Structure 1
Amino acid sequence: MNAIRLLARESKAIHKYFALAVFFVGIETLFEVLIPLLMADIIDQGVVNKDMGVFVSRGLGMLACALLSLATGLLYARFAAKSSTKLGQLLRDKQFARIQRFSFTNLDRFETSGIVTRMTSDVTVVQNAITSGLRPLARGPIMLVLGLVMSFLINAELAFVFFFVCPVLALIMVWIVSKVAPQYPRMQSALDTINQVVQENLIAIRAVKAFVRGDYELERFDQVNDEVASITRQTFHYALFNTPAFQLCMYTTIVVLMVTGSRLILEGRLEVGQLTGILSYVLQILNSFVMLSNVFLLMTRSMASVRRIEEVLLEPLAAQSENPVTTMPDSTIVFDHVDFKYAAAGRKNVLENIDLTIEPGTTLGVLGGTGSGKSSFVSLIPRLYDVSAGALTIGGVDVKNYDLAFLRDQVGVVLQNNVLFSGTILENLRWGDENASMEDIERVCRIACVDEFLDRLPEGLDTRLDQGGTNVSGGQKQRLCIARALLKKPRILIFDDSTSAVDTHTDAKIRKGLASMEGLTQIIIAQRVQSVEHCDQIIVLDDGQIVARGRHDELLSGSAVYREIYETQKKRRQKPWLSTVVRGI
């Protein structure tokens, strides 16, 4: 029921289109139901009494009913199409807007392929249910009730046959729905898996080609495709049983009515035209059952999709303060005994007892091995994740009390695998500030050393980038991402191993340019000691805990862990011949 309430709430703006569609299909059905009654009069009065006046009057009545039924049917189609299209548009808009507000915690609960399927396939299923189901849903009950009433008005004795047929049809419908209902969620989940396999293959297509894994990928796709085919086959095996079962009941009913009606005609208790009218109503009544059964199947599938859409729309977001703060006194960052784990039910903290103060305008270096918690540490600052215990404040204000958009405007993040979007370089840079002047753009390009390669590109800043920036090198992509973040003019700037793809000379030039920016608090995650040795403070993370802190010279003399990292990397720098030997081998 939550799914139905959600659909009703989200479609409130287009309820009038639904109401008009149902209204016009009801009028259309009413005109259709009158036609067999007029036809019975033509046979019983016009044919038997050879009365041309009855032929003309009833014939004109049937023609009028047919034309009015056509007109109201066209009006129904217009409003049903509007309601379906607008609902699909609304659901996609609502889901996309909700996803934009997701934190990383929210995104961790969904596969990317699952989100794509919810916004495409699941929305299409709901639209199809409305387009194909609204008409029979409105016509079926009206035709059933009016058909039964008209049948009883013509001959109550003959109409009692329906009381034996209707329960049988209802039982068949319930049995089919009970078999099909559990299959639709499985079908949509299987489509998620297909999307995931295709998405991974396209993203990693260069690796697939390089490792000649095309056959493996084809086999992998065949497996998930076979699973979808198997579930679909099993689902429609029961769903398609619907039509022949109902046709069997319909023709059996017609035979029983013909036999019973013939007897009543011979006994003089029934007219031929009345039998013809009742047979017409039989077709309408049983067709209404077929329509309703198809609607139940459509609704069963659409409810599975609505529940999946509901998961996105009702996903709890990061809590916002009732009176969010939109000013930042200063950029002092304080981790007060912070613990963090990705899931509340997780057995072990990713970060534990982080107690650290980062003064405004200073530079913090973060070192640590893979899995030590470096990226998790910086993700807490812009509230991409929330702390599990302890407190994190900026400028003396808990980050949970800041307006989320304001907080993230004050914090720039440059990731190791940052993304560039399709479009020109200039358009990508303007993500930092869409109103930035060309002077500001040129300034950040100099700091990030983007100017060093712009001249080599075909059209400079107007060079178009492919999706993901695949037509520039890794180092160029990282420098463009740094420039984009600088254009945002943040008070806190986080570099998550964001110069790993640039050479040491360029890395040093970027550091020198950043040092010239007064008042900017910098947090630099790096694998190379050389990238952080200039920092005002350096911390070393191991297994989610700070195991060493201090300046470069202090850590060299006081931390065995830091000294070991430094000496290992220093030996590598002092032995360039080693890489030459390796390349020769």
Structure 2
Amino acid sequence: MQAVKQLGQFLAPYKFFTLIAPLLMVLEVTMDLIQPTIMQHMIDTGIANGDNAYVLKMFVWMIMSAVLGLVGGLGCSIYSSKAAINFASDVREKLYEKMMTYSAKERDAFTTGKLITILTSDVESVQRAFMMTLRIFVRGPLLFIGAVVIVFVTARELFSILLVIVPILIVAMYFFTKYSGVLYRKVQEAIDGVNTKLQENLAGIRVVKAFRREQQQVEQFGVQNDTLTKRFITAEQIVGVLVPFTMFIVNMGIVIALWLGAIKVEAGTLQIGVILAFINYLTIILNGLMSSSMVLMQIARALPSGERIVDVLNKEVAVKEAERALHTDIHGEVTFENVSYRYYETAEDVLKNITFSVKAGQTVGIIGKTGSGKSTLVKLLPRLFDPTEGRILVDGKPLKNYALTTLREHIGFTSQKAMLFSGAIEKNIRLGKEKATLNELQLALDAACASEFVDQLEKGMAHELSQGATNLSGGQKQRLALTRAFVRQPSILVLDDTTSALDSASEKHIQQAINDNFRDTTTFIVASKIASIQQADLILVLEDGEIVGQGTHQQLLQENEPYQAIYASQQKAGEQQ
């Protein structure tokens, strides 16, 4: 119920729609309930006595009640739709906003596939339940209660039939509703598995094709899909049994009513119109119970979805902003003091006691074997995650004291994998600086060696990129990622092995552009080649998450064995080429 209470806050802007929809439904139900009574009087008073004027009068009343019912029903549908759809839209927006604050730790805790399911399927399930509640859950109980009361007042001779049928139907509703909630929770979990496998395989489709593992991946997806299919079938079969079961009980009630009514009519204690009205009210009771049961089952299905939505909204974010965050300019002096980091509490440290200091405007090169912690180290700078131990200072102030927007506005960051988004090239570059002038965009393109291929495109910077920029080569994507970082003119520039797909001439051009255009920028360069960082003011040599050497290229070449080993292996490889 906590989930219902929290999600209910999203209804506040739509109180009018939420209130007017049930009121209009009350109007429709009232009109539906009086029509069998009007028909009863038409038969027993008008037709039985040959009073055509009375029959015509009742006919007009039936038409008027039908029109009013139509107005109520249409109005309820319109306003309930507005309330439910706007409610779901706000929930989706809030979910997405929350997901954007997640660090890798929170995303891994949920998995990407589950987050996609929550943002789409779960929100849709809650939306549908809310809409059905406004439309039908008001209608069902009112029809049921109203019909029972009217039968008790106008057809008390047949009321005993309801005393048998109604308890059976209510027990059946309770059982099916309770069991369906458990089953649909398992269905949502199976959808998570399908979405995770789908997202994973689509993202890695090139690897799958390169290793000719299409059939194996199809088989693995088939396992997930079979699980979803079986759970869906089980859930739908349970729900499907409810309709024929309730119809059977109601039909038995109708048969008993006709049999008992025939006896009472023959005895002269009951009129035919009363029997017809009772059968109509019995059908109304059925509709009321059936519609209520459908809503209850949808609510039972939506409750797990609501809980999953609230879990995402309430998930505590590891990277938090200080209460009185700093919004001052950043110059770029960086100090690491005994910094350690582990991805999970039970895991080993991937960074251990990292300590170094660099002045504003200097260049830091970071090198080491694969898995030594190079990328993890530079990801600490924009606070993609925070150190487990130790602290980082920027301009002498703790990194955590800066407002996240201020900190990240002063950092130009490029990751190992050049991530570009679908849309125009210019749109991708402007992610670095939204209000950049065309001249600034062109200068950044030139510095990143990207203008040489962008200028050759028919639409230039207006050229549309496909999803994942698959219509560009790896080197072209890297150069656009560099452009995006360069156009920001940041105080701190982080290049995480972003020239690996470039030729040596382009890499030298970019290095020279950094020297010429970013003299006041503190630059961190993660590289696998010493040639990429040998001009750096400070080089850090990492091994198993620890700094095993730091100094200039010449100092390390003379004094540091791990660096000497890397240099020797790369020199030998160069000679062989």
TM-score category, normalised to shorter length: over 0.9
**Which residue in the other structure is 2:442 paired with?**
442
The alpha-carbon deviation at position 25 of structure 1 amounts to 0.8
Give 1:329 shift: 5.2
Q: Secondary structure at the match of 1:161?
A: helix
Partner of 1:567: 568
Q: Aligned residue for 1:581?
A: none
Report whether the alignment pairs 1:322 with 2:332: no
1:385 matched residue in structure 2? 385
What are the residue-to-residue correspondences of 1:261-300 with 2, within 5 Å? 261-300=261-300
Unaligned runs of 5+ in 2: none
Q: Is the 8 A contact 1:425 1:465 kept in 2?
A: yes
Matched with 2:404 is 404
Deviation at 1:6, TM superposition (A): 2.4
Q: 1:298, 1:29 → 2: CA distance?
A: 21
The match for 2:355 is 355
1:147 is matched with 147
| Mapped contact 2:332–2:360 kept (Cα < 8 A) | yes
Write out aligned runs for 1:395-434 (5 A). 395-434=395-434
Other structure's SS at 2:337 match? strand
What's the counterpart of residue 226 of structure 1? 226
User: Residue type of the partner of 2:430?
Assistant: R
Partner of 2:117: 117
What's 1:582 paired with? none
Q: Which residue of the partner structure matches residue 367 of structure 1?
A: 367
Match for residue 178 of structure 2? 178
Q: Does structure 1 residue 557 correspond to structure 2 residue 563?
A: no
Residue 46 to residue 387, structure 1, CA distance change in 2 (3 Å):
same
1:91 Cα deviation after fit: 2.2
Q: Is the 8 A contact 1:105 1:384 kept in 2?
A: no
Distance 1:460 1:35, change over 3 A: closer
Which shows bigger deviation, 128-137 or 143-152? 128-137
Aligned to 2:104: 104
2:503, 2:135 → 1: CA distance?
A: 66
SS in 1 for 2:413: strand
Letter aligned with residue 500 of structure 1:
S
Superposition deviation, residue 524 in structure 1: 0.9
- Paired positions, count: 575
> After alignment, is 33-42 or 397-406 more displaced?
397-406
Q: Which deviates more, 420-429 or 491-500?
A: 420-429
3-state DSSP class of the match of 1:11?
A: helix
Shift of the alpha carbon at 1:417? Answer: 0.7
Task: Describe the superposition over 1:409-434 as per-residue Cα deviations: whole angstroms up to 9, x where unpaired.
Answer: 11111112121222332222222112
Quote the offset at 1:87 in angstroms: 2.2
Cα distance in structure 1, aligned partners of 2:187 and 2:412? 41
* Aligned match of 1:310: 310
- Does residue 165 of structure 1 match 2:180? no
User: Which letter maps to 1:527?
Assistant: S
Q: Is the Cα–Cα contact under 8 Å of residues 361 and 520 in structure 1 kept in the other structure? A: yes
Deviation for aligned residue 1:4:
0.9
CA distance in 1, matches of 2:389, 2:211: 45
Distance 1:462 1:51 in 2: 81
* SS at 2:110 equivalent: coil
Alpha-carbon RMSD across the aligned residues, in angstroms, is 1.9
Could you tell me which residue of structure 2 aligns to residue 200 of structure 1?
A: 200
CA–CA separation in structure 2 for the residues paired with 1:426 and 1:510: 20
After superposition, the Cα gap between the structure-2 partners of 1:20 and 1:213, relative to the gap in structure 1 and judged at 3 Å, is same
Query: Which residue matches 2:545?
Result: 544
CA positional deviation for 1:260: 3.1
Alpha-carbon contact 2:144-2:288 (below 8 Å) kept: yes
Residue 523 (structure 1) aligns with: 524
2:249 is matched with which residue? Answer: 249
Map 1:9-48 to 2 at 5 A: 9-48=9-48
TM-score norm. by structure 1 comes to: 0.94
What is the match of residue 474 of structure 2?
474
Q: Which amino acid aligns with 2:310?
A: E
Going from structure 1 to structure 2, the CA distance change for 1:57 and 1:452 (only over 3 Å counts) comes to closer
What does 1:80-99 correspond to in 2, within 5 Å? Answer: 80-99=80-99
Q: Retained in 2: the 8 A contact 1:328–1:394?
A: no
- Amino acid paired to 1:563: Q
Q: Which one is further off, 135-144 or 424-433?
A: 424-433
Give the counterpart letter for 1:398 in structure 2.
P
Distance across 1 between alignment mates of 2:71 and 2:463: 55
CA distance in 2, matches of 1:328, 1:391: 20
**Displacement over 4 Å in runs of 4+:** none
**2:359, 2:248 → 1: CA distance?**
82
- Note if contact 2:365-2:524 (Cα within 8 Å) is conserved in structure 1: yes
Rounded to whole Å, the distance in 2 between the matches of 1:94 and 1:451 is: 39
**Per-residue Cα deviation, 1:219-243 (whole angstroms, up to 9, x for no partner):** 2332222221111111111111110
Contact 1:413–1:493, Cα closer than 8 Å, also in 2: yes
State the Cα deviation string for residues 307-335 of structure 1 (Å, max 9, x = none).
22223222223322222110035322222
Q: Secondary structure in 2 aligned to 1:502?
A: coil
Secondary structure of the corresponding residue to residue 547 of structure 2: strand
Please state if 1:79 is matched with 2:84.
no
Give % identity: 32
For each residue in 1:362-393, what CA deviation from the matched residue of structure 2 results, as whole angstroms up to 9, or x when unmatched?
11111122222211111111111022222222
Whether the 8 Å contact between 1:133 and 1:298 is mirrored in structure 2 is no
Structure 1: tracts of 5 or more residues without a match: 577-585
Partners of 1:438 and 1:48 in 2: how far apart?
89
Partner SS, residue 50 of structure 1: coil
TM-score (norm 2): 0.95
Do the aligned residues in 1 keep the contact of 2:330 with 2:491 (CA within 8 Å)?
Answer: no
The 1:63–1:455 alpha-carbon spacing in structure 2 relative to 1, beyond 3 Å, is closer
Matches of 2:334 and 2:162, distance apart in 1: 77
Query: Does the 8 A contact of 1:24 with 1:75 survive in 2?
Result: yes
What secondary structure is seen at the aligned counterpart in 2 of 1:493?
Answer: strand
SS in 2 for 1:49: coil
For 1:462 and 1:155, the matched residues in 2 are separated by 76
Deviation at 1:12, TM superposition (A): 1.7
Q: Is the 8 A contact 1:136 1:292 kept in 2?
A: yes
Structure 1 residues 502-521: aligned runs within 5 Å: 502-516=502-516, 517-521=518-522
